[in-house]
């Protein structure tokens, strides 16, 4: 990867666009060979969703609101999960991604405790598919065995593939290319998710970040990071929801 | 060597106790080899992938999709960037297509029933045999001259498949029914009256700045959710002015959750609300007289009986609410009103929806930016969008015929009658009098498992097809569906495996020497032929020197469209009538607010694990049928989350899991459709409760459609408790974010 | 002092070796019973390895549970040995003598018990090799030394080796005696081999003493580091509310000493009861250890108090929510109450009374209470934090241990008990030579009308031997 | 060489334990000899006293200057608080050297316990120094974080909202109570332990000493009952003094340090603060007994044993210092929370870096790596030199922490409510002339007071010395004479 050194992948999530439709969730499941979450997995609170929609309630009937926020691995620049892994199963790659090396992982689950966003998932059981459904599995993504951690990878397999094919055909993978965007980003019907390279000033995410973080705190600057006070330097920027309901009580 | 290493590692692995155990039970070798992490699996070259364009059949809007195919297997579905309806976007349901394709419980060859009906005992037969048996029956009818005793029921299918089915039916003389559990006939009729169009118009949510939606959960399930969601995204942040969404509904739906204001009205009074808004606007005179006359038929006197003051009582809101909605609506530049869903599912549904859509005439946005965009007719003669389903009333009549034995052959395709028709219709019982039920289902469902003969059809990813969108995009569009993979069961040979529905009909027609007038003997040919008509037009998205080039272009881009071939730019308002108050049956203490599950819709996707496991936007519940009720009410009744409750409406009842939340109106409970299949593969059979079954037979006055939102139910705990399978974790209260630590909000004035 | 009884060396040998050379009748049933428990535990472990960690009650976000709590507990217990024998040795506390051996042996066994659980709880136990050993299996990458989980095995390992050595060095003279008294050639041979030809020459004694003192001095830093590191397994994480507290290292250590020394006191009582060692373990010893316990317990409670004060001092809503959960909400509230009462409120006031301090029975029960309390303490530090009462209320979790976990935890207890029993069967649980030395050192001084126990002062500064001007 | 039955070798003691020119076992002689030393006051003493008195005068000037400068801007007061804290960690902690070994029945304490207790007299200065701080202590009304949980900014649904009834000025009240009671307890302690010696002054003393001896000895005649009471009272008062000392440090470290630095949540710090005090206290005593031995004429009584004992203590304490420091530093540095990183910058890596490094050397490196050698521990000069380094280090530590945090508190970019410092003061606060006066003056002042007090109160604990004679004996062990020490229970 010749040019990979100076890439820093990031995402911008516009909560004001998100409708909580779970499109991203299913897209992610289908792209990343996430085992089928059966009923018992939900009941054991061991369901795996690399990206999840969190729903928060505000107020009581009739002045009630449900807020949705998609939460995936924030690919922290200063990730709490990284230093604590005893076997380097999780490390920071040269493109600013927080990658999980499945075959090194022994499942101490230290990283999962370190993660303040709870986006790391553990394979408590051996993942199983009916024989015929295995035909759907994505050959670019490892099927994780039991006993190891897994988490959102920004669909690193897509980044790799498109970069590789880009090199093969001597074309630059340009910003916002669907081939390099994660499955959730391509799926999102309302374009709430935008993916790109923060190191490239002209990329859409960079400009959105610029615009959003420029005047933080003010009304027009909607950008913020999740639990920023922990100093994780997350590479996912959230754009605040705008609440213009009559008599809105929340907000700053 | 391997064994040594394995012993070495296991023994050294600190778990000598278990080592012996491994030796016995055989941990797979790969488990014990430590692979090189330098080579990330993502770095491995795994072959070349191709993306094929086709159209999705998971829901009624056939979205354009591209399917990633590697080594002859479909891997991933994404939206087709070119396709006008859902430019590159897609709904969560589309993704699950691949699971349908590779579902472990697909039927891999024609079956004939050996045991009693419903026993599920079948025997494989060859296609010749199967088609032979069906044609025999049909020929007998033909011989005895009562072809009308053959009935062909399908789901709403447009395009060429619809064409073939219709032709087959009327050439043979069979009765043709179209069935959809949650009927759109009310909305379709209302639309055609208000805008003079059979197909649904396109709603330019993108450019609108004030969106008034009545009952229609358009961000999740209603009509063309993906397209509307795309618009919604732009509507929110695409322009420098953020649009305002006001949702008027008797239930807190996903759309209500995203609305800036959710105005809760009593069930069945959405239309009244709309009418009151119209009245307030008319009385204020923010509207041209011509429109007023057109709407009121000359004298606007009768309208005043629907003034906010008069109806607010019945609607259950304050007159001020209606007035300020009227104000905002009439003062915004691009106001838009859409409605349907539960608003249409009442005895006054037709009148309500008509009033709702007439608001667009009041806003005078028909054919304008940010308004209602009308669709042109289909570019190909005879090729129509899918029709709305026959009304419930008609199906009741059909069951009576079945009772009287005038239905000999019942051919069902994609319509799960046994599941969807409420018990009041008596369909289940009366089906016993039908000598032969034929199903074309590719997978067992409640109907197919009752069939005597099963002719499994292809999955849509293996089959040809075309689509004239139900909710068009304002210009001519024909979607093309092509097989992206070879039939999964082709290894079973020509005489077993699956075949396309169209092909089977054509084959039958051939055997019976019926001329369908399609001058083609395979379904693909049919499509190719009419593609020639498109080619002949010499315009639109694909201009090619030769037909082959054109054909390839069409298949590559997943369809043909002509952005210049627009629909009419205006429509005459239709006269409005008064709206009667809704008929609500049942003696229970709660209004039953059914809703189409975001993933399972009316139940058609229940067999797919991803759909089952997809959290509901509001309750985040999965895999089950749940009852949303207000948490205060639940507390009073001592019901907590996960309590198994019996929901009974006028005699019939289902059990479901209580799911209290702060948003459900105290006087209502809402339950999703989609679960409770008797049969339907390992993932859905016998799971949850079938809400359809317990609905009472209330009809829409005009169309006779089933008013599925017009029941009152009682909820009684059974005393059992099971944990609701949901992704949301266990919390004492509902997840709240009072201090806006997680979701930060900026508060801003509406205008 | 009234208990001052000079025992002849023969009597000491006879009494202390009695149960080694003969089998008491309760011994076999006890061993069998414990053996069954251990076997069950290992069975449960194998079951877990075969089916996956899914058989535990762990879930998202509660990724650690009983196992880790148990791990911390046993590490805590293991601090008793060094506390008693090293620190008291360096400070020349006479009363330590009969107790040291039991404490050190318990250290060794509880360390092994502690090492069980982290191995058991990982997702793929058959791969832990390259976690624990800094040897890279030609993968070009070494273990991540930034991780406390790499510090852990090294520290605990060192501690285990050091304390085993310590035990062995202190055993040499006694094994020699066993060699001389053992009947049966084979047994003799074994003891002969084990005692490395110890014959009690002055040089051997000098070496043995020096080795003991050196080891106890050198093991002290390890002693401190082990539990600090264990505490950092939690404290380095900002992801879990309530764990990231600077006081954790000292707090864990003082807690460890609290539970460890209590465990030793319990052992002493047991020894008196099982092996009839009233001649060696006297009320005086209980008195001394109880006074030590009072100091330790109070200090520990102060640290505990500080941890809480600072949690509340942050006024951070998740922190407050966590504390509310820990102290007031089901199921942790009641457990919390029990923990505080058992590990401090009940025992310490009791120990304040000399009468109770000097009663083996009361010391036995109070110290058992303390250890129940301290196990709960570990549980209450780990789980309530992990159920994540954070701002992301959507992910608040719960945790219920499964049978497998409980069985394995029970196994660790059974294992330590079994280990002690077996040890006591083959080697003396009370150091003969140390007791004898004590007898030699012991003197009496008459002050006015009352006699005061006194002892020969060891290691006087050398300048006493210089001739002055 | 002798070998006992267990085989342990023994060197015989060739001389009696207390090394005096001509060894005595007679208790009367002990008191006579000690009184003799006590009664004479050399000129050197007066010269030194005059010097310290002069320093004290400077201190008073500095004090007045400070108070005159007003209480508004905090950064001016940084050094002042530092001096206060320093005295709290030295003079107030020194008595622990008497208390702790006494509880542990360590005989080596006997010659130095009185000197240790005597330092409490200097505690009066701390009280004086504290008074202006009452006005400087921020009240709870501006919603600052505090031990007293006056949590205006805490959300209402929290279980301890009851604490909101805490008056806004509770820190002031508690602080005053704590410090006053510490000083009172200290004075009580020294008086109690002096009772028998006052009696000796009364009986054998002359002139004004005898007069004061009569007044202060409270009719001590040494009955058994009086002795029992004596032991009990001393036990109780010492215990209370210890607890109060810990509390005061807990208190100071929070109310005078942490509240001023947003995001400084360091639950270990009170322990560290108290521990620094113990360390400095030991150092103070080392220096004290060094002076007493070299210049005070107590050479015969303050043997190497005392230096050895203190040396071992200091060795352990300096190791502990590192451990405590590392425990918190490691967590702050590892977790990389912005609030904590800025804290590290303020206190360690920022403008005060040099100070920190110096302190690290003086308080940990030097003591640890020198004291680790027995020869150094067992010498007279070694401990004395190291004591100086430790005291210097402690002074630096106090200046670094207090000046830095009070400086931070005075900045406008820091509000009491915040949990994080967004900026860190970029340069060190230079001491004003008044500050230097204060530092020099009040350190000198404490010594001055100590010296004056030592004229009336014997710095050598006569009765404990005498008592010791009872508890030691020489025993014949085989061919050797060995020392036997009694440990009363």
Domain boundaries, chain A: 4-239
Helices (H), D205-303: 207-216, 224-252, 269-294
More confident residue, C277 or C55: C55
The CATH code of the domain at C4-468 is: 1.20.1630.10
Indicate whether D278 pLDDT > 70: yes
Q: What is the dihedral of CA A179, A185, A188, A191, to 10 degrees?
A: -100
pLDDT of residue B42: 58
pLDDT of residue A216: 67
Which distant-in-sequence residues (6+ apart) come within 8 Å of B651 by Cβ? none
pLDDT of residue C391: 86
CB B280 within 8 A of CB B307: yes
pLDDT of residue D8: 39
In CATH terms, is domain B111-180+389-457+499-515 a member of 3.40.50.740? yes
Q: Which residues partner with B247 through β-bridges?
A: B213, B262
Q: Confirm or reject contact between C50 and chain A (CB < 8 A).
A: no
Tokens of C56: 């535990």
What is the share, in percent, of chain C residues with pLDDT greater than 90? 40
Which distant-in-sequence residues (6+ apart) come within 8 Å of B310 by Cβ? B276, B304
Contact C50 B741 (CB under 8 A): no
CB B448 within 8 A of CB B41: no
For residues B167 and B518, give the distance between their C-alpha atoms in angstroms, rounded to a whole number: 9
pLDDT of residue B232: 93
For residues D106 and C93, give the distance between their C-alpha atoms in angstroms, rounded to a whole number: 11
For residues B627 and C38, give the distance between their C-alpha atoms in angstroms, rounded to a whole number: 48
CB D298 within 8 A of CB D292: yes
Instruction: Pick A4-239's CATH classification: 3.30.70.20, 3.40.50.2300, 3.40.50.720, 3.40.50.1980.
Output: 3.30.70.20
Instruction: Determine the Cα angle at B171 with ends B167 and B176, to 5°.
Output: 60
Q: What is the dihedral of CA D254, D255, D256, D262, to 10 degrees?
A: 70
Mutate to test the interface with C, among A86, A107, A230, A231 (most CBs of C within 10 A): A86
Q: Which of C125, C130, C329 sits opposite B18 (nearest CB)?
A: C125
For residues D175 and B641, give the distance between their C-alpha atoms in angstroms, rounded to a whole number: 51
- D366 CB-side CA count, 13 A: 20
Q: Which of B34, B615, B663 sits opposite A66 (nearest CB)?
A: B663
Contact C237 A123 (CB under 8 A): no
Size of interface A-C (CB pairs under 8 A): 136
Which residues in chain A are contacts of D419 at CB distance < 8 A?
229
Indicate whether D35 pLDDT > 90: no
What is the nearest CA distance from A80 to chain B, expressed in angstroms?
Answer: 18
In the predicted model, what is the mean pLDDT of residues D158-162? Answer: 47
Nearest chain B residue to A27, by CA: B95
Question: Domain coordinates of chain C in residue numbers?
Answer: 4-468
Q: What is the CA radius of gyration of chain B?
A: 27
Displacement of CA B494 from its chain's centroid (Å): 33
Q: Which of D154, D482, D484 sits opposite C320 (nearest CB)?
A: D154
pLDDT of residue B19: 38
Residue where the block lists tokens 């190191």: A199
Question: Domain coordinates of chain B in residue numbers?
Answer: 111-180+389-457+499-515, 185-373, 590-721
Which residues of chain B have a pLDDT value below 50? Answer: 1-38, 749-751
For residues D82 and D74, give the distance between their C-alpha atoms in angstroms, rounded to a whole number: 13
Contact B10 C395 (CB under 8 A): no
Class of domain B590-721: mainly beta
Indicate whether C253 pLDDT > 90: yes
Q: Please state, rounded to an integer, the average pLDDT across all residues of chain C.
A: 86
CB environment D359-387: b (16+ within 10 A), e (fewer): bbebbbebbbebbeeeebbbbbebbbbbb
pLDDT of residue B6: 43
Tokens of A101: 């090396």
Nearest chain A residue to C392, by CA: A117
DSSP state of B385: P
Of the candidates C113, C119, C120, the one whose C-alpha atom is nearest the C-alpha of residue C34 is C113
CB B598 within 8 A of CB B220: yes
Q: Which of D5, D254, D472 sits opposite C9 (nearest CB)?
A: D5
Q: What is the pTM of this model?
A: 0.90
Indicate whether D285 pLDDT > 70: yes
Which distant-in-sequence residues (6+ apart) come within 8 Å of C207 by Cβ? none
pLDDT of residue B336: 92
CB environment B453-462: b (16+ within 10 A), e (fewer): bbbbbbbbbb
Q: Which of A14, A21, A141 sits opposite B237 (nearest CB)?
A: A14
Which residues in chain B are contacts of C398 at CB distance < 8 A?
729-730
pLDDT of residue C231: 93
Q: Confirm or reject contact between C26 and chain D (CB < 8 A).
A: no
Helices (H), D336-461: 338-344, 353-359, 366-371, 374-377, 381-398, 404-410, 433-456
pLDDT of residue D425: 83
Tokens of D221: 């005649």
Indicate whether C142 pLDDT > 80: no
CB neighbourhood size of B700 (10 A) = 28
Tokens of B30: 């790969």
- B265 CB-side CA count, 13 A: 31
For residues D459 and D297, give the distance between their C-alpha atoms in angstroms, rounded to a whole number: 11
Crossing angle of helices C202-235 and C66-81, in 10° steps, is: 150
Confidence of residue A215 (pLDDT cuts 50, 70, 90): confident
End-to-end Cα separation, chain C, in angstroms: 41
For residues B715 and B717, give the distance between their C-alpha atoms in angstroms, rounded to a whole number: 7
Nearest chain B residue to C115, by CA: B14
What phi and psi, each to the nearest 5 degrees, are found at residue B307? -65, 150
Q: What is the dihedral of CA B600, B606, B607, B608, to 10 degrees?
A: 30
Q: What is the CA radius of gyration of chain C?
A: 24
Residue count of chain B: 751
Which residues in chain C are contacts of A124 at CB distance < 8 A?
52-54, 58-59
CB C30 within 8 A of CB C339: no
For residues A169 and A166, give the distance between their C-alpha atoms in angstroms, rounded to a whole number: 5
pLDDT of residue C79: 87
CB neighbourhood size of B474 (10 A) = 20
Crossing angle of helices B319-331 and B349-363, in 10° steps, is: 40
Supply the ipTM of this predicted assembly.
0.88
Q: Confirm or reject contact between C307 and chain D (CB < 8 A).
A: yes
In the predicted model, what is the mean pLDDT of residues D246-254? Answer: 89
pLDDT of residue C463: 41
Q: Confirm or reject contact between C330 and chain B (CB < 8 A).
A: no
Confidence of residue A196 (pLDDT cuts 50, 70, 90): very high
Q: What is the CA radius of gyration of chain D?
A: 25
pLDDT of residue C361: 92
Which residues in chain C are contacts of A34 at CB distance < 8 A?
none
Q: Which tens digit of pLDDT belongs to each residue from B672-704?
A: 998 999 888 899 988 988 998 888 888 888 888
Q: Parallel, antiparallel, or unpaired: how do β-strands B210-214 and B335-339 relate?
A: parallel
Which range (B404-418, D13-27, D440-454) has the least confidence? Answer: D13-27
Instruction: Pick B185-373's CATH classification: 3.20.20.140, 3.90.550.10, 3.40.228.10, 3.80.30.20.
Output: 3.40.228.10
């Amino acid at each position: 990867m010749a040019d990979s050194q100076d890439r820093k992948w990031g995402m911008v999530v516009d909560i004001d666009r998100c409708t909580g439709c779970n499109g991203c969730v299913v897209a992610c499941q289908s792209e990343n060979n996430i085992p089928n979450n059966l009923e018992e997995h939900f009941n054991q609170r061991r369901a795996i969703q690399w990206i999840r929609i969190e729903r928060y309630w505000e107020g009581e009937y009739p002045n009630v609101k449900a807020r949705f926020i998609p939460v995936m691995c924030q690919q922290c620049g200063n990730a709490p999960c990284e230093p604590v892994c005893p076997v380097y199963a999780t490390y920071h790659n040269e493109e600013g991604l927080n990658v999980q090396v499945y075959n090194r992982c022994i499942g101490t689950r230290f990283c999962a405790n370190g993660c303040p966003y709870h986006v790391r998932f553990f394979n408590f059981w051996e993942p199983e598919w009916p024989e015929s459904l295995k035909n759907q599995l994505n050959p670019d993504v490892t099927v994780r065995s039991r006993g190891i951690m897994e988490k959102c990878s920004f669909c690193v397999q897509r980044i790799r593939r498109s970069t590789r094919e880009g090199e093969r055909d001597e074309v630059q993978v340009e910003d916002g290319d669907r081939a390099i965007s994660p499955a959730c980003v391509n799926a999102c019907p309302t374009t709430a998710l935008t993916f790109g390279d923060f190191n490239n000033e002209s990329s859409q995410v960079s400009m959105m970040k610029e615009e959003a973080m420029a005047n933080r705190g003010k009304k027009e600057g909607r950008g913020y990071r999740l639990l920023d006070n922990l100093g994780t330097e997350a590479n996912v920027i959230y754009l605040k929801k705008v609440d213009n309901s009559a008599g809105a009580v929340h907000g700053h | 060597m391997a064994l040594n290493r394995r012993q070495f590692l296991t023994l050294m692995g600190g778990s000598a106790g278990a080592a012996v155990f491994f030796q016995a039970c055989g941990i797979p070798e790969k488990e014990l080899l430590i692979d090189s992490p330098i080579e990330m699996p993502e770095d491995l070259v795994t072959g070349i992938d191709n993306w094929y364009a086709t159209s999705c059949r998971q829901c009624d809007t056939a979205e354009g999709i591209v399917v990633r195919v590697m080594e002859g297997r479909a891997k991933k579905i994404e939206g087709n960037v070119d396709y006008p309806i859902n430019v590159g976007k897609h709904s969560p349901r589309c993704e699950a297509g691949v699971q349908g394709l590779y579902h472990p419980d697909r039927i891999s060859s024609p079956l004939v029933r050996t045991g009693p009906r419903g026993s599920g005992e079948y025997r494989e037969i060859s296609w010749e045999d199967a088609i032979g048996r069906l044609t025999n029956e049909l020929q007998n009818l033909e011989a005895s001259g009562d072809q009308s005793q053959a009935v062909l029921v399908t789901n709403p299918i447009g395009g060429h498949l619809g064409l073939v089915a219709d032709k087959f039916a009327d050439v043979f003389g069979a009765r043709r029914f179209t069935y959809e559990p949650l009927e759109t006939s009310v909305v379709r009729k209302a639309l055609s009256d208000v805008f003079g169009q059979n197909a649904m118009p396109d709603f330019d949510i993108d450019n609108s700045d004030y969106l008034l939606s009545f009952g229609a959960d358009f961000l999740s399930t209603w009509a063309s959710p993906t397209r509307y969601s795309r618009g919604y995204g732009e509507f929110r942040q695409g322009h420098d002015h953020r649009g305002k969404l006001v949702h008027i509904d008797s239930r807190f739906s996903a759309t209500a959750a995203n609305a800036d204001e959710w105005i809760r009205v009593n069930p069945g009074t959405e239309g009244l609300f709309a009418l009151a808004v119209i009245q307030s606007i008319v009385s204020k005179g923010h509207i041209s007289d011509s429109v007023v006359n057109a709407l009121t038929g000359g004298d606007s006197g009768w309208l005043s009986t629907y003034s906010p003051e008069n109806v607010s009582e019945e609607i259950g809101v304050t007159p001020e609410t209606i007035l300020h909605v009227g104000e905002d609506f009439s003062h915004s530049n691009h106001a838009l009103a859409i409605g349907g869903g539960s608003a249409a599912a009442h005895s006054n549904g037709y009148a309500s929806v008509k009033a709702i859509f007439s608001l667009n005439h009041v806003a005078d946005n028909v054919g304008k930016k940010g308004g209602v965009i009308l669709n042109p007719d289909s570019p190909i003669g005879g090729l129509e969008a899918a029709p709305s389903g026959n009304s419930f009333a008609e199906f009741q009549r059909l069951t009576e015929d079945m009772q009287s034995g005038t239905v000999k052959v019942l051919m069902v395709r994609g319509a799960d009658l046994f599941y969807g028709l409420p018990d009041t219709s008596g369909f289940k019982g009366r089906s016993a009098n039908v000598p032969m039920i034929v199903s074309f289902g590719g997978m067992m469902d409640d109907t197919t498992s009752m069939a005597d003969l099963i002719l499994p059809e292809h999955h849509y990813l293996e089959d040809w097809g075309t689509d004239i969108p139900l909710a068009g995009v304002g210009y001519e569009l024909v979607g093309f569906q092509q097989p992206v993979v070879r039939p999964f069961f082709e290894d079973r040979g020509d005489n077993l495996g699956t075949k396309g529905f169209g092909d089977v009909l054509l084959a039958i027609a051939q055997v019976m020497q019926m001329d369908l007038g399609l001058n083609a003997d395979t379904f693909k040919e049919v499509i190719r032929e009419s593609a020639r008509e498109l080619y002949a037009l010499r315009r639109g998205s694909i201009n090619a020197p030769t037909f082959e080039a054109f054909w390839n272009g069409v298949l590559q881009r997943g369809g043909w469209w002509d952005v210049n071939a627009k629909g009419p730019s205006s429509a005459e308002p239709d006269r409005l009538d008064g709206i009667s108050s809704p008929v609500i049956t049942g003696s229970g203490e709660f209004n039953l607010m059914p809703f189409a599950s975001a993933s399972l819709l009316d139940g058609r996707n229940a067999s797919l694990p991803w759909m089952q496991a997809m959290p509901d936007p509001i309750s985040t519940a999965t895999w089950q049928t749940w009852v949303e009720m207000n948490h205060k009410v639940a507390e009073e009744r001592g019901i907590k989350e996960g309590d198994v409750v019996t929901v009974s409406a006028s005699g019939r009842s289902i059990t479901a899991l209580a799911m209290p939340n702060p948003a459900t109106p105290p006087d209502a409970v809402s339950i999703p459709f989609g679960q409770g299949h008797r049969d339907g593969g390992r993932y859905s059979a016998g799971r949850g409760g079938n809400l359809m079954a317990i609905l009472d037979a209330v009809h829409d006055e005009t169309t006779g459609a089933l008013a599925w939102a017009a029941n009152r139910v009682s909820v009684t705990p059974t005393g059992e408790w099971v944990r609701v399978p949901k992704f949301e974790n266990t919390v004492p209260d509902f997840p709240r974010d009072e201090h806006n630590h997680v979701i930060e909000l900026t508060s801003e004035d509406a205008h | 002092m009234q208990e001052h009884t000079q025992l002849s060396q023969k009597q000491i040998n006879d009494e202390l070796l009695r149960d080694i050379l003969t089998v008491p009748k309760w011994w076999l049933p006890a061993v069998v019973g414990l053996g069954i428990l251990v076997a069950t535990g290992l069975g449960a472990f194998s079951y877990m390895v075969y089916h996956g960690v899914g058989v535990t009650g762990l879930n998202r976000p509660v990724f650690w549970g009983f196992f880790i709590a148990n791990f911390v507990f046993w590490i805590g217990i293991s601090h008793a040995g060094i506390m008693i024998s090293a620190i008291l040795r360096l400070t020349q506390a006479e009363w330590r003598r009969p107790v040291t051996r039991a404490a050190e042996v318990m250290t060794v066994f509880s360390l092994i018990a502690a090492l069980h659980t982290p191995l058991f709880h990982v997702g793929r136990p058959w791969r832990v090799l390259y976690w624990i050993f800094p040897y890279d299996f030609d993968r070009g990458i070494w273990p991540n030394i930034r991780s406390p989980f790499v510090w852990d095995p090294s520290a605990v390992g060192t501690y285990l080796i050091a304390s085993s050595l310590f035990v062995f060095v202190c055993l040499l003279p006694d094994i020699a005696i066993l060699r001389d008294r053992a009947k049966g050639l084979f047994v003799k041979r074994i003891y002969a081999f084990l005692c490395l030809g110890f014959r009690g020459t002055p040089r051997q004694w000098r070496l043995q003493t020096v080795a003991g003192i050196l080891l106890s001095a050198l093991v002290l830093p390890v002693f401190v580091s082990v539990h600090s590191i264990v505490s950092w397994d939690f404290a380095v994480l900002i992801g879990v509310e309530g764990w990231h507290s600077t006081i954790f290292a000292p707090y864990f250590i003082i807690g460890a000493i609290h539970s460890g020394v209590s465990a030793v006191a319990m052992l002493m009582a047991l020894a008196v009861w099982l092996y009839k060692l009233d001649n060696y373990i006297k009320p005086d010893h209980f008195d001394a250890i109880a006074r030590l316990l009072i100091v330790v317990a109070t200090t520990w409670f102060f640290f505990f108090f500080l941890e809480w004060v600072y949690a509340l001092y942050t006024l951070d809503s998740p922190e407050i929510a966590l504390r509310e959960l820990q102290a007031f909400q089901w199921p942790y509230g009641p457990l919390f109450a029990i923990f505080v009462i058992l590990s401090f409120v009940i025992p310490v006031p009791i120990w304040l009374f000399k009468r109770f301090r000097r009663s083996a029975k009361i010391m036995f029960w109070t110290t058992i209470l303390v250890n129940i309390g301290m196990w709960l303490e570990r549980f209450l530090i780990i789980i309530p934090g992990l159920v994540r009462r954070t701002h992301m209320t959507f992910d608040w979790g719960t945790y219920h241990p499964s049978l497998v976990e409980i069985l394995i935890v029970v196994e660790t207890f059974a294992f330590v008990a079994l280990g002690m029993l077996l040890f006591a069967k083959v080697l003396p649980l009370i150091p003969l030579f140390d007791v004898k030395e004590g007898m030699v050192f012991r003197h009496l001084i008459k002050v006015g009308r009352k006699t005061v126990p006194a002892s020969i002062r060891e290691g006087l500064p050398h300048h006493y031997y210089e001739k002055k001007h | 060489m002798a070998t006992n039955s267990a085989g342990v070798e023994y060197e015989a003691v060739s001389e009696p334990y207390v090394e005096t020119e001509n060894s005595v076992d007679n208790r009367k002689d002990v008191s006579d000899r000690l009184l003799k030393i006590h009664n004479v006051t050399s000129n050197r003493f007066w010269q030194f006293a005059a010097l310290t008195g002069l320093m004290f005068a400077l201190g008073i000037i500095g004090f007045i200057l400070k108070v005159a400068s007003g209480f508004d801007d905090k950064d001016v007061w940084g050094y002042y608080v530092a001096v206060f804290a320093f005295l709290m960690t030295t003079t107030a902690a020194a008595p622990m050297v008497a208390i702790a070994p006494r509880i542990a029945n360590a005989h080596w304490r006997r010659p130095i316990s009185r000197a240790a207790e005597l330092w409490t007299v200097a505690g009066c200065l701390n009280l004086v120094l504290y008074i202006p701080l009452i006005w400087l202590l921020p009240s709870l009304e501006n919603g600052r974080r505090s031990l007293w949980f006056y949590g205006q900014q805490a959300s209402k649904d929290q279980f301890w909202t009851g604490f909101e009834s805490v008056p806004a000025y509770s820190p002031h009240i508690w602080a005053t109570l704590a410090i006053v009671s510490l000083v009172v307890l200290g004075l009580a302690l020294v008086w109690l332990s002096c009772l028998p010696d006052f009696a000796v002054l009364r009986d054998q003393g002359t002139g004004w000493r005898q007069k004061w001896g009569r007044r202060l000895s409270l009719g001590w005649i040494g009955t058994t009952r009086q002795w029992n009471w004596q032991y009990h009272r001393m036990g109780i008062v010492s215990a209370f003094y210890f607890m109060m000392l810990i509390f005061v440090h807990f208190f100071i470290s929070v109310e005078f340090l942490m509240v001023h630095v947003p995001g400084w949540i360091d639950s270990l710090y009170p322990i560290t603060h108290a521990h620094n005090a113990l360390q400095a206290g030991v150092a103070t005593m080392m220096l004290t007994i060094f002076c007493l031995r070299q210049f005070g004429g107590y050479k015969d009584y303050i043997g190497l044993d005392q230096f050895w004992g203190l040396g071992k203590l200091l060795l352990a304490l300096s190791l502990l210092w590192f451990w405590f420091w590392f425990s918190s530093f490691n967590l702050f540095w590892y977790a990389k929370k912005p609030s904590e990183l800025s804290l590290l910058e303020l206190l360690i890596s920022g403008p005060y870096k040099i100070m920190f490094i110096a302190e690290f050397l003086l308080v940990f490196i030097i003591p640890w790596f020198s004291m680790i050698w027995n020869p150094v521990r067992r010498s007279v000069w070694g401990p004395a030199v190291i004591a100086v380094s430790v005291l210097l280090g402690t002074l630096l530590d106090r200046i670094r922490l207090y000046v830095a945090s009070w400086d931070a508190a005075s900045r406008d970019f820091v509000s009491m409510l915040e949990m994080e410092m967004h900026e860190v003061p970029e340069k060190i606060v230079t001491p004003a002339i008044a500050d230097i006066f204060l530092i020099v003056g009040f350190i000198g002042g404490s010594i001055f007071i100590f010296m004056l007090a030592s004229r009336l109160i014997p710095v050598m604990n006569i009765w404990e010395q005498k008592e010791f004679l009872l508890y030691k004996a020489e025993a014949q062990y085989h061919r050797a004479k060995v020392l036997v020490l009694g440990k009363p229970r």
